[in-house]
């Protein structure tokens, strides 16, 4: 089946999935996954992310820094005794491992959301009320741990 070029989000997904399927027998390595992502990226692609479920790691590169960085998921404590944390992948000072995780705070999340909304305002995502914006900023605090 021939895939016609399509630069829409769905079209790029279909192209990437087709490329991945054609290499299925080769068990694509991280480098191959990034090659596929690079082939469907656009001028405004902000980041590319590859998840390695077996090694429990996340590999990514950003528009500003094409160095592939890794977040190891074996180090962090995901139990209920630790606070909600995040990794700022746009931060050039990111240090791989648990030290790259920072505690979630609503003020930091508000600043992140403000930057995202300002940057993508030209896409006209629609009006977001102040209350909706504040609810987004507080979302991390609403996550409740479920001890098993």
Domain boundaries, the chain: 1-41, 46-78+88-100, 104-148
Closest listed residue to residue 87, CA positions, set 78, 96, 74, 75? 96
Q: Which residue has the higher pLDDT, 3 or 55?
A: 55
This prediction has a pTM of 0.69
What's the DSSP call for residue 76?
A: S
**Are the CB atoms for 143 and 84 separated by under 8 Å?**
yes
Q: Which residues contact 38 (CB under 8 A, 6 or more apart)?
A: 48
Token pair listed for 128: 């977001």
Mean pLDDT in residue range 98-123: 73
Distance CA(6)–CA(40), nearest Å, equals 10
pLDDT at res. 75: 79
End-to-end CA distance of the chain: 47
Token pair listed for 51: 């998840």
Q: Report percent pLDDT > 70 for the chain.
A: 80
Cα–Cα separations (whole angstroms), residue 47 to 40, 43, 89, 137 = 12, 11, 9, 22
pLDDT at res. 71: 87
Q: Report percent pLDDT > 90 for the chain.
A: 5
pLDDT at res. 134: 80
Is the pLDDT at 120 greater than 70? The verdict is: no
Mean pLDDT in residue range 27-53: 85
């Amino acid at each position: 089946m021939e895939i016609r070029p399509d630069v829409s989000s769905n079209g790029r997904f279909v192209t990437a999935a087709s490329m991945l399927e054609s290499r299925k027998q080769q068990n694509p390595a991280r480098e191959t996954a990034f090659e596929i992502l690079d082939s469907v990226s656009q001028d405004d692609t902000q980041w590319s992310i590859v998840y390695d479920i077996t090694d429990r790691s996340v590999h990514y590169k950003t528009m500003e820094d094409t160095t592939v960085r890794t977040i190891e998921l074996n180090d962090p404590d995901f139990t209920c005794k630790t606070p909600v944390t995040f990794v700022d992948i746009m931060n050039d000072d990111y240090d791989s491992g648990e030290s790259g995780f920072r505690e979630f705070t609503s003020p930091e999340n508000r600043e992140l959301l403000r930057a995202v909304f300002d940057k993508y305002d030209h896409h006209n995502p629609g009006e977001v009320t102040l209350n909706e914006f504040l609810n987004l900023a507080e979302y991390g605090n609403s996550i409740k741990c479920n001890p098993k």
